[in-house]
Amino acid sequence: MGVPDYQTLMKPVLLFSSDGQIHTGAEAVEHVAQLFQLTAADRAQLLPSGRTHLLNNRTHWALTYLRHAALLSSEGHGKFRITDRGQQLVKQNPPKINKALLIVQYPEVADFIGRPTAKAIGDRVPASPVEAELEAKLSPEEQLEVSYRTLRTELEHALLAKLKAGGSEFFERAVLDILVGMGYGGSHAQAVEHVGKAGDGGIDGVINEDKLGLDKVYVQAKRWEGVVGRPTVQGFAGSLDSEHARKGILITTSSFSAEARTYVQNIEKRIVLIGGEELVRHMVDYQVGVQPKGTFTLYRIDEDFFEDAD
């Protein structure tokens, strides 16, 4: 069934704490995993950032909302205990505990998420169907990551369109700029020799693999429209032979066929194939052709700072 959304976890976590004992976040995570019979793959699932386990994140946000509703109290170092208010809600035994219920019954939650206190579910400003579905399934941190990925995808699509619209010589220079941005060869002057011209024999540029220039990588960059097949890649490999070269990078604004990728895996030369989607990802990662618009930093509590707070 996969990891339940964080609102689904609110009631199980509160019931887990109803024994009145002090529990840890790790204990809550383990309880949820066993209750919903999560598999090892479910437990290992990560957020899109790859830095946090999805189960831990959603359990954390369930605990966060329960704490802000004063249903749980913080007992230091990631520990919590149910409050009298929490025990009262357990006795009421609502069908489910979610943000809507918490906003209605506990003004603190409305303050926490920046919404006016609601006296009834119907008093809330209605969200769009898409917003409502997103809020129900994703934790605030997940929502932020989804928004980031959406904005980044739009940016990458716009970058690829720009590359396709530019001239051939511009694209060749842009590709070499990207490789320099990725750290090849040190400074731009040291790293790149732009040699693309008519009759270049399939080589559009040469880039130093290291700062000392001990080895060179030959580059071909073309704005192909269709899928690039094996014959084109074989032709590039032949161009490397004429230069007595062993390493090359073949870059296109489109994509490569499965046969082309299989071919480069089975030859002695080291040829890397980079399609348009991967190319613009590198542009964003290494800030080539883009500028930062804004930065958002997420913070977490430094538990060591509060070591002696009690």
The yes-or-no verdict on residue 226 having pLDDT over 80 is: yes
CA triplet 234, 236, 241: central angle to 5 degrees? 95
Residue 266 CB neighbour total at 10 angstroms: 6
Q: Is the pLDDT of residue 198 over 50?
A: no
Q: Which domains does the chain have, with CATH numbers?
A: 10-138 (1.20.120), 165-285 (3.40.1350.10)
Would you say 177 and 288 are in contact if contact means Cβ atoms under 8 Å apart?
A: yes
What pLDDT is recorded for position 177?
A: 86
Q: Which residue did the predictor score with more confidence, 188 or 292? A: 292
Check whether 121 has a pLDDT greater than 60: no
Q: What does the pLDDT read at residue 45? A: 92
- Inter-residue contact 103 to 124 (CB < 8 Å): yes
The predicted structure's pLDDT at residue 201: 57
Average pLDDT, the chain: 83
Residue closest to 57 by CA, chosen among 6, 112, 2, 133: 6
For the record, the structure tokens of 159 come out as 């970058």
**pLDDT number for residue 207:** 84
Q: Return d(Cα 245, Cα 206) in angstroms, integer.
A: 11
Element (H, E) at 193: strand 192-194
**Is 128's pLDDT higher than 50?**
no
Supply 241's token pair.
């032979």
* Residue 273, token pair as written in the block: 């194939």
What's the pLDDT score for residue 74?
87
Q: What is the DSSP letter of 5?
A: P
Our measurement of the distance from residue 258's CA atom to the centroid of its chain's CA atoms, rounded to an integer in Å, reads: 26
DSSP tag of 305: G
Residue 39 pLDDT greater than 70, yes or no: yes
Give the pLDDT band (50/70/90) at residue 309.
low
The residues facing 251 across adjacent strands are 221, 274
Q: How confident is the model at residue 279 (pLDDT cuts 50, 70, 90)?
A: very high
pTM for the predicted model, two decimal places: 0.64
Cβ(140)–Cβ(245) below 8 Å: no
- What is the Cα–Cα distance from 31 to 126, expressed in whole angstroms? 34
DSSP lists the bridge partners of residue 24 as: 79
User: Does residue 127 carry a pLDDT above 70?
Assistant: no
Average pLDDT of span 32-61 = 91
* Helical residues (DSSP H) of 166-309, grouped into ranges: 168-181, 188-191, 230-242, 258-265, 276-285
Instruction: Tell me the mean pLDDT in the region 215-234.
Output: 90
Tell me the two tokens of residue 131: 């917003």
Give the per-residue pLDDT at 222: 85
With pLDDT > 70 as the criterion, what percentage of the chain qualifies?
83
Higher pLDDT, 124 or 16: 16
Mean pLDDT value of segment 22-40: 95
pLDDT by residue (tens digit) across 76-100? 778 999 999 999 999 999 999 998 8
**How far apart are alpha carbons 204 and 218 in whole angstroms?**
8
Q: Per residue in 142-175, pLDDT tens?
A: 888 877 887 888 889 889 988 988 888 888 888 8
Is the distance from CB of 98 to CB of 4 less than 8 angstroms? no
Look at residue 188 and tell me whether its pLDDT is greater than 80: no
For the ranges 18-27, 108-117, 267-276, the lowest mean pLDDT is seen at 108-117
The tokens for 82 are 């149910």
CA distances (Å), 94 to each of 37, 56, 79, 102, 212, in order?
A: 23, 25, 25, 11, 69
pLDDT reported for residue 273: 96
